[in-house]
Amino acid sequence: MRLAVKICCLSLCMGATVLSAAPAYSQTQQNDDPKIGIVVPESGSYAILAKQIKLGAEAAKLQNQYPVSLIYLPEHCKAEQDAETAEKIRQENIKFVIGYLCSESLEGAAPVLARDGITILSLGSRQQTLLEQQTRQSFGIFRLQPDRKMATAVLADRLAPLWRTVPFALIEDGTVQGRDFARQVLPAFKARGLEPALTDTYRPAQTSQNALVAQLKRAGINHILLGGEGDDAAVIARSAAAAGLPLTIAGGESLLRADPQTPLPVGLLMSSIPETETQTYTDSAIKAIAALAGKQSDTQEMLADGYALPAYAAMQIVSQTLSDTSEPPKPAASILQTTRFETVIGAVSFTPQGLRQENPYRLMRFNGKDFEPAK
């Protein structure tokens, strides 16, 4: 199975809904149980991600018998509407919120929730919002997704020693993501004493890349950093093979975006987070998520995919925070900023700005079937 991109449904109304009646989740809810808000998009392309998050959160609660109430609210990915939802969270006396896949949601919701010191564990947003950058405030946002700069650092750290004596090219597909990749990777390699012999933009989604390969061959280049998708990497590799040019291609997680029927080139290098499912300490959580998914018709085919394990980990973090017995009691933000949490996705700790501290990225190599850690 190729690495999956880190990109239990119930009937939910637009307001807050305490989950208690569905047979798959039936548990006694205590009025004095701490309330945890789960805010996720319930429609459109993000709906499948919402199901993953709900599965992970519910599985963590049931398996570990956490004495909490989960309250579900919709995320709209629009600042104004999510500010209104945040007001409902305040009215429900919720102290922790898990979810928020869209940065736009945080722009609207975070300032409202910060009034009551409500802590947010964001599962989707990787970088600080414009509001955070302008005010230099964290607004109680803690991010489980690592900053993409960590992926760039791993790529540069691992490849710089190997590519120091060979000319290489930095090419990108002209998209926002491609240009961002180039802007991040270029200074990272320069900081390690390397500079590309060629930088260029290519046209994506072509059936061949003969002109690009001819350019590389004339320049004597057979190593490239690619700011593009997996389909393009496959086409470039195929054109290079036809031209007799041995080619090593490396890039970021956008390489995962490829047609399942498109064979990725063997040896393709990528900076990505290894599939958590391959780590033995997640077995129990995976089984709990799969068992829960199997009890519902709309999630029977789902396993511990996508955001399921991060949501499970978020519940572990919240539970550990709630169980703190310090006297006098510490604010939740203080606990999160000073504690190393052991979770199903590994150790998690946060910077004072609420960013993920550990770098979970690794250099991965495609072996013809799977991405595996590069040696």
Cis peptide bond N-terminal to 328, omega within 30: yes
Phi, psi of 128 (to 5 degrees): -65, 145
- The C-alpha atoms of residue 106 and residue 109 are separated, in whole angstroms, by 5
Helices 210-218, 230-242: crossing angle, 10 deg rounding:
60
pLDDT value of residue 22: 33
pLDDT value of residue 306: 85
Tokens of 209: 């890349």
pLDDT value of residue 47: 87
Q: Give me the chain's average pLDDT, please.
A: 87
Taking only the tens place, the pLDDT of each residue in 226-269 is 999 999 999 999 999 999 999 999 999 999 988 888 899 999 99
Look at residues 9, 57, 40, 18 and name the one whose alpha carbon lies nearest to residue 105.
Answer: 40
pLDDT value of residue 374: 96
Q: Report the greatest alpha carbon distance in the chain.
A: 72
CATH 3.40.50.2300 residue window(s) in the chain: 17-146+278-348, 149-272
pLDDT value of residue 335: 96
The predicted model gives 135-148 an average pLDDT of 86
List, in order, residues 6 or more apart from 215 with CB less than 8 Å away: 198, 200
By mean pLDDT, which of 20-24, 62-66, 279-283 is the weakest? 20-24
DSSP string, 19-88: ---SGGG--PPPTTSPEEEEEE--SGGGHHHHHHHHHHHHHHHHHHT---EEEEEE--S-HHHHHHHHHH
- The answer to whether the CB of 255 falls within 8 A of the CB of 233 is yes
Q: Inform me whether the pLDDT recorded for 1 exceeds 70.
A: no
Look at residues 138, 191, 156 and name the one whose alpha carbon lies nearest to residue 336.
Answer: 138
pLDDT value of residue 27: 36
Look at residues 308, 296, 301, 299 and name the one whose alpha carbon lies nearest to residue 23.
Answer: 296
Q: Inform me whether the pLDDT recorded for 281 exceeds 70.
A: no
- The answer to whether the CB of 97 falls within 8 A of the CB of 142 is no
Q: Inform me whether the pLDDT recorded for 358 exceeds 50.
A: yes
Q: Label residue 302 by pLDDT band (50, 70, 90).
A: confident
Q: Label residue 98 by pLDDT band (50, 70, 90).
A: very high
Give residue 346's region: left, alpha or beta (phi > 0; psi -120 to 50): left
Per DSSP, what are the bridge partners of residue 143?
A: 122
Sign of the Cα pseudo-torsion (257, 260, 265, 266, in order): positive
DSSP H/E element including 292: helix 283-293
Query: pTM for the complete prediction?
Result: 0.80
According to CATH, what is the number of the domain 149-272? Answer: 3.40.50.2300
pLDDT value of residue 79: 94
Q: ∠ at Cα 252 (250, 254), nearest 5°? A: 115
By mean pLDDT, which of 111-125, 171-185, 226-240, 283-297 is the weakest? 283-297
List, in order, residues 6 or more apart from 76 with CB less than 8 Å away: 41, 82, 85, 105
According to CATH, what is the number of the domain 17-146+278-348? Answer: 3.40.50.2300
The predicted model gives 43-47 an average pLDDT of 83
- The C-alpha atoms of residue 372 and residue 366 are separated, in whole angstroms, by 6
Q: Label residue 122 by pLDDT band (50, 70, 90).
A: very high
List, in order, residues 6 or more apart from 220 with CB less than 8 Å away: 167
Q: Label residue 366 by pLDDT band (50, 70, 90).
A: very high
- The C-alpha atoms of residue 319 and residue 324 are separated, in whole angstroms, by 9
Phi, psi of 108 (to 5 degrees): -85, -40
Taking only the tens place, the pLDDT of each residue in 142-201 is 999 998 899 999 999 999 999 999 999 999 999 999 999 999 999 999 999 999 999 999
Taking only the tens place, the pLDDT of each residue in 5-39 is 333 332 333 333 333 323 333 333 456 899 999 99
- The answer to whether the CB of 140 falls within 8 A of the CB of 132 is no
